[in-house]
């Protein structure tokens, strides 16, 4: 297991970068506190200064003026080794050295820091395990003998090798196909649960920002901060037209991926019956008493089995075979996006189950549309207030 290191807070104060021979600064008077152990995403149009801002944190680019501290220490006062220990760096297309093996690539920073050979070897294996590459298979391969996704994994392993509290990631998953990209994102989130680094992540992709970010900074020209907030807050209430443009037209739908079924008022008033304790005739009687056309048959552990229409019951001999099986169901942990898909594939109510798969309620399209409406109203109220 990797050592669990909580990240360090990063502070940028009045940071400006003026490239030699240019008129306007690329980054102008940038101020931000990046909380320890969180993922902060920089998004914004091409050329707005995201990379310049990020690279000033590890001084790959020297600020023209201003201060940057990591865990309270002024980075301008740190030497190169101290900075390498504090900040890992991963970039698009992994940036691996083509003539180095996977192991040699991962060992670069520990080597520069003069770790003992044995310690470096152990660390390389540990990092490869961490990012899901079997050391016995991949240790001695060259980057060209790996897939794009595997190269990115090596890039992340290399960035983490010296166990820095801060990780800078510049479009690290920009060059891989959407499925691999989704997997790498999931893995980063899984790793982060364990490692709790402070991660600054640059992307063009707003959906990636929403998925990964504890907070998102939407940047405009010269790295001016248009909005710096949680994904939920930015989706619900974009601060201005530029942010709204970035969030895109599907903002309400994107919000469905942030909400869980447990956060909304789903119903728990379906008529349920446990088979085989009950008979079709009894169920029919109950349904007519309660004015229900549909009922849900559960098994002995109260897990949903079948939907039954009242008219199925006149000819049914057993509740175990009557009606139609429950298709897609969702749990209280599922996102509203999953719920919407289940509702559409079920053609009506989707069954909601608890942690042991037991029936807890149903959710329907009105619940989802009401939630979207509510989010829109909150958004409108927010815009009216600001």
In the complex, which residues of this chain contact ligand ATP (CB under 6 A)? 19, 22, 26, 44, 46-52
Q: How far is the CB of 130 from ligand ATP (least distance, A)?
A: 28
Query: Least distance in Å: CB of 221 to ligand ATP?
Result: 9
* CB within 8 Å of 120: residues ≥ 6 apart: 107, 110, 111
Shortest CB 248 distance to ligand ATP, Å: 17
Q: Which is nearer to ligand ATP, 245 or 348 (CB)?
A: 245
> Directed axis angle between helix 148-160 and helix 117-130, to 10°?
130
Handedness of CA 324, 357, 263, 250 (dihedral sign): negative
CB of 220 to ligand ATP, least distance (A): 10
Q: Tell how far CA 144 is from the center of its chain.
A: 29
Map tokens 């075979």 to a residue.
321
Nearer to ligand ATP, 23 or 347 (CB): 23
CB of 158 to ligand ATP, least distance (A): 21
How many Cβ atoms sit within 10 Å of the Cβ of residue 293? 11
* Nearest C-alpha neighbor of 154 from the set 174, 134, 168: 134
Q: Which CB atom, from 217 or from 308, has the smaller least distance to ligand ATP?
A: 217
Give the Cα separation of 204 and 209 in Å (integer): 8
With a CB cutoff of 8 Å and minimum separation 6, the contacts of 10 are 32, 33, 34, 57, 68, 69, 70, 166, 198, 200
- Which is closer to ligand ATP, CB of 50 or CB of 211? 50
Q: Which is nearer to ligand ATP, 28 or 292 (CB)?
A: 28
Shorter beta-carbon distance to ligand ATP: residue 205 or 299: 205
Task: Let me know if 166 is exposed, middle or buried by CB neighbors in 10 A (0-12, 13-18, 19+).
Answer: buried
Instruction: Work out the burial of residue 295: count CB atoms within 10 Å of its CB; fewer than 13 is exposed, 13-18 middle, 19 or more buried.
Output: buried
Kindly tell me which of 12 and 297 has the beta carbon lying closer to ligand ATP.
12
Q: Whole-number minimum distance, CB 222 to ligand ATP, in Å?
A: 8
Beta carbons of 296 and 309 less than 8 angstroms apart? no
Which C-beta is closer to ligand ATP: that of 17 or that of 158?
A: 17
Instruction: Give me the least distance between CB of 270 and ligand ATP, in Å please.
Output: 50
Please state, in angstroms and as integers, the Cα–Cα distance from residue 169 to each residue in 89, 195, 212, 304, following that order.
6, 15, 12, 44
Shortest distance, position 51 Cβ to ligand ATP, whole Å: 3
- Spatial separation of the C-alpha atoms in residues 303 and 360, rounded to whole Å: 9
Distances (CA, A) of 52 to 25, 64, 201: 11, 11, 13
User: Please, which residue, 28 or 260, has the CB nearer to ligand ATP?
Assistant: 28
The least CB distance from residue 44 to ligand ATP, in Å, is 6
């Amino acid at each position: 297991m990797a050592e669990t290191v909580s990240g360090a807070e990063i502070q940028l104060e009045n940071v400006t970068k003026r490239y030699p021979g240019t008129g306007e600064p690329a980054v102008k008077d940038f101020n931000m506190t990046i909380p320890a152990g969180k993922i902060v995403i920089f998004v914004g149009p091409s050329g707005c200064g995201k990379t310049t801002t990020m690279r000033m944190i590890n001084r790959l680019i020297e600020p023209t003026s201003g201060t940057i501290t990591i865990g309270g220490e002024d980075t301008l006062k740190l030497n190169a080794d101290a900075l390498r220990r504090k900040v890992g760096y991963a970039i698009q297309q992994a940036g691996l050295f083509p003539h180095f093996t996977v192991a040699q690539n991962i060992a670069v920073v520990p080597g520069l820091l003069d770790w003992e050979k044995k310690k470096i070897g152990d660390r390389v294996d540990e990092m490869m395990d961490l990012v899901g590459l079997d050391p016995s298979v991949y240790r001695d391969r060259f980057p060209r003998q790996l897939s794009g996704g595997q190269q990115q994994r090596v890039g992340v392993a290399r960035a983490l090798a010296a166990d820095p509290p801060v990780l800078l990631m510049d479009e690290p998953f920009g060059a891989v196909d959407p499925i691999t990209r989704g997997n790498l994102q999931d893995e980063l989130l899984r790793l982060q649960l364990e490692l709790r680094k402070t991660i600054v992540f640059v992307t063009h992709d707003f959906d990636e920002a929403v998925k990964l970010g504890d907070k998102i900074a939407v940047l405009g020209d010269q790295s001016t901060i248009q909005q710096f907030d949680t994904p939920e807050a930015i989706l619900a209430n974009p601060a201005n037209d530029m942010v709204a443009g970035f969030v895109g037209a599907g903002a309400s739908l994107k919000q469905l991926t942030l909400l869980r079924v447990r956060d909304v008022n789903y119903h728990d008033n379906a008529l349920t019956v446990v088979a085989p304790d009950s008979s079709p005739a009894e169920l029919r009687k109950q349904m007519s008493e309660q004015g229900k056309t549909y009922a849900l048959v559960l098994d002995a552990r109260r897990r949903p089995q079948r939907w039954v229409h009242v008219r199925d019951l006149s000819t049914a001999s057993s509740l175990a075979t009557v009606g139609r099986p429950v298709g897609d169901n969702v749990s209280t942990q599922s996102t509203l996006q999953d719920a919407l898909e289940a509702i559409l594939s079920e053609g009506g109510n989707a069954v909601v189950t608890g942690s042991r798969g037991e029936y807890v309620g149903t959710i329907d399209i009105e619940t989802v549309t009401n939630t979207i409406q509510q989010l829109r109203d909150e958004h409108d109220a927010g815009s009216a207030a600001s």
